[in-house]
Amino acid sequence: MKKLADEIKKPANIILIIALILLVLAFVAINPPAPHDTEIVPATPVGGPDDPDGGTDETIQLPASEIRDYEGEQLSSIDDFRENSIKGPQYVDVDTYRLEVTGLVDSPLSLTYDEVLAYDAYQKVVTLYCVEGWDVKLLWEGILVSDLLADAGVQAGANTVIFHAYDGYTTSFPLEYLTDNPILLAYKLNEIQIPPERGFPFQLVAESKWGYKWIKWVTKIELSDDESYEGFWESRGYSNTADLDEGFFS
Ligand SMILES: Nc1nc2c(c(=O)[nH]1)N[C@H]1C(S)=C(S)[C@@H](COP(=O)(O)O)O[C@H]1N2
Ligand SMILES: [Mo]
């Protein structure tokens, strides 16, 4: 009886296999494979400030491919970081966003995202070291904070620059750190727009300083004469100078 049952099943199996093959062939005919499944797309969205044609606000943003090697240097991935921000990721609405440069300046600035990106662009590989023991080496692109300060006109008496962020976070620097060094206010990392979790629209690349000085979601740059100002982590016992080569407890 068992043998007979097997005999009956065989033709049914063959019909099933043929039907499956036909199905696969039909699917391939309808959906031919893409010529390149790892197609490179522009890192800058069409219609951005780099686009000579201008474009419209409605332009669809293409997904950009992340670079992992820059002039032979192995970079970290955009995902190699730990989310430990004081209030979690912030989602900034770029349409209403303004970057303020205020305080002891001759002409306060209130810039849209595109107005910030219209400043000269600079690129640099810099490593962020968090006090928790992890680090990320990334290719940053942004504008120079010193260019912003020059435009606003720093008044005599200012000696401190306080950065404010969308989540209420703050951190500060001596004025000379920002005027004497090419410090970037970055809008791209590894050639792609900084994602919300990493600080969109802008993260400060506070080179040679601990990660807590790399303020994300920057909204305001305030010129002050309060040298004793302490930011969020600084007022909780972390070094205010925060130089990488001197440790992080004050
Ligand atoms: N606005 C804001 N910026 C912030 C923080 C934060 O909590 N809020 N955390 C800081 C700390 S402690 C570190 S280590 C870095 C981490 O940056 P990343 O998340 O882009 O790697 O962001 C810094 N910038
Ligand atoms: Mo950190």
pLDDT surpasses 70 at 48: no
Nearest CA to ligand 1 atom 1: 216
Per the structure, how many domains does the chain have? Answer: 1
- Tens-place pLDDT, residues 117-174: 999 999 999 999 999 999 999 999 999 999 999 999 999 999 999 999 999 999 999 9
pLDDT reported for residue 60: 46
Segment 206-218 shows an average pLDDT of 98
User: Looking at residue 227, which CATH number applies to its domain?
Assistant: 3.90.420.10
Average the pLDDT over each of 58-62, 79-83, 164-168 and give the range with the smallest value.
Answer: 58-62
User: Nearest-CA neighbor of 190 among 64, 66, 65, 50?
Assistant: 66
Asked if residue 199 is part of any domain, the answer here is: yes
pLDDT reported for residue 17: 54
Segment 205-224 shows an average pLDDT of 98
C-alpha to C-alpha distances, 135 to 75, 96, 124, 203, nearest whole angstrom: 11, 32, 16, 16
pLDDT surpasses 60 at 23: no
- Burial pattern 49-84, b for ≥16 Cβ within 10 A else e, equals beeeeeeeeeeeeeebebbeebeeeebbebeebeee
**Chain centroid to CA 208:** 19
Domain span holding position 110: 69-236
Asked if residue 114 is part of any domain, the answer here is: yes
User: Nearest-CA neighbor of 201 among 107, 83, 95?
Assistant: 95
C-alpha to C-alpha distances, 101 to 139, 144, 154, nearest whole angstrom: 26, 13, 10
Nearest CA to ligand 1 atom 4: 215
Asked if residue 124 is part of any domain, the answer here is: yes
Asked if residue 89 is part of any domain, the answer here is: yes
pLDDT surpasses 80 at 3: no
For a ligand 1 pocket test, name from 85, 86, 204, 239 the mutation site with the most ligand atoms within 8 angstroms of its C-beta.
Answer: 85
Q: Is 199 in the pocket of ligand 1 (CB under 6 A)?
A: yes
pLDDT surpasses 50 at 43: no
User: Nearest-CA neighbor of 126 among 69, 87, 75, 177?
Assistant: 75
Q: Calculate how far, in angstroms, residue 214's C-alpha sits from the geometric centre of ligand 1.
A: 6
Q: Nearest 5°: phi and psi at 11? A: -60, -35
Higher model confidence: residue 21 or residue 37? 21
pTM of the model: 0.77
Q: Calculate how far, in angstroms, residue 160's C-alpha sits from the geometric centre of ligand 2.
A: 22
pLDDT surpasses 60 at 115: yes
> In 120-201, which residue ranges form alpha helices assigned H by DSSP?
145-152, 175-179
pLDDT surpasses 80 at 44: no
Asked if residue 45 is part of any domain, the answer here is: no
- Ligand 2 is an ion; its neighbours by CB within 5 Å are 130, 211-212
Asked if residue 25 is part of any domain, the answer here is: no
